[in-house]
Amino acid sequence: MRKKIIAGNWKMNMTPTESVALCETLKPLVAGADADVVFCVPAIDIIPVKEAIKGTNISLGAENVYFEDKGAFTGEISAPMLKDAGVEYVVIGHSERREYFAETDETVNKKLLKALEYGIIPIVCCGESLTQREQGITLDWIRMQIKIAFQNVTADQAKTVVIAYEPIWAIGTGKVATTEQAEEVCGGIRKCIAEIYDEATAETIRIQYGGSVNASNAAELFAQPDIDGGLVGGASLKADFSKIVKYNA
Ligand code: PGA
């Protein structure tokens, strides 16, 4: 039985001061949740959030990592830096990073390997555009993204990874995928993992849905057999996030 994992992706929101205030609001509300709870926060919020969530059931995540250990890469943050700061999860290959910051399936793969090397759990994002969905190539596209992302990743490593299926047309648009659409692709991803590795790995890996998840659609989405939780953007920035985390209450 896979444990659900519900992660907030704060994106470029929350100053350090605001980040602590949001933690204080959410801490009591998410306490006792059945699911794993993760806050993926901007780099500058990592240290204050780590302090603010001490002793709670909230885990700390970053939104990006670079694939080199150190050196002349102005503006980047390395896996050993994140590890030292107490980061447990890192979002890799979000569609916004692919679109605005030129991330490719190859850099996603390198970042995935680097995070795993340092014992940080990757939340690897994949997803199709509206055009690709209309062209009927959604599953082909996502299988390609997954196959490249997992190059040189062992089965034991893959079991620890979290995959987030986020249709680009559903992100920040209020246009959530139907439960059938979300389940179809998450099931397709699990099948792809079984092909790359084996059934045991496919049954262990956790697959989230992301894209306009909110307090009213979370329960139905997370009840699907292949959806193991959510990656939540806009709705993770307010008290209501606790209703998503406690979707089954
Ligand atoms: P959204 O974002 O919940 O605001 O649609 C999800 C994401 O991009 O992770």
Q: Distance from the CA of 240 to the center of ligand 1, in angstroms?
A: 15
Q: What are the pLDDT digits (tens) for 44-64?
A: 999 999 999 999 999 999 999
User: Which residue's C-alpha comes closest to atom 7 of ligand 1?
Assistant: 233
Has 166 been annotated as catalytic? yes
Q: What are the pLDDT digits (tens) for 219-228?
A: 999 999 999 9
User: Which residue's C-alpha comes closest to atom 2 of ligand 1?
Assistant: 233
- Tokens found for residue 165: 């299926």
Q: pLDDT category, 38, cuts 50, 70, 90?
A: very high
Q: Which atom in ligand 1 lies closest to the alpha carbon of residue 164?
A: 9
Q: Which atom in ligand 1 lies closest to the alpha carbon of residue 125?
A: 9
Fold of 5-245: TIM Barrel (3.20.20)
Q: Which atom in ligand 1 lies closest to the alpha carbon of residue 235?
A: 3
Share of the chain above pLDDT 70, in %: 100
Concatenated DSSP letters for 152-202? Answer: T--HHHHTT-EEEE--GGGTTSS-PPPHHHHHHHHHHHHHHHHHHS-HHHH
- The ranges assigned to domains in the chain are 5-245
SS3 state at 229: strand
What is the model's pLDDT at position 1? Answer: 85
Q: How far apart are CA 181 and CA 167, in angstroms?
A: 10
Q: How far apart are CA 179 and CA 192, in angstroms?
A: 20
Any atom of ligand 1 within 6 Å of the Cβ of 210:
yes
The candidate with the shortest Cα–Cα distance to 230, out of 205, 203, 212, is 212
Q: What are the pLDDT digits (tens) for 94-125?
A: 999 999 999 999 999 999 999 999 999 999 99
Distance linking the first and last C-alpha atoms of the chain: 19
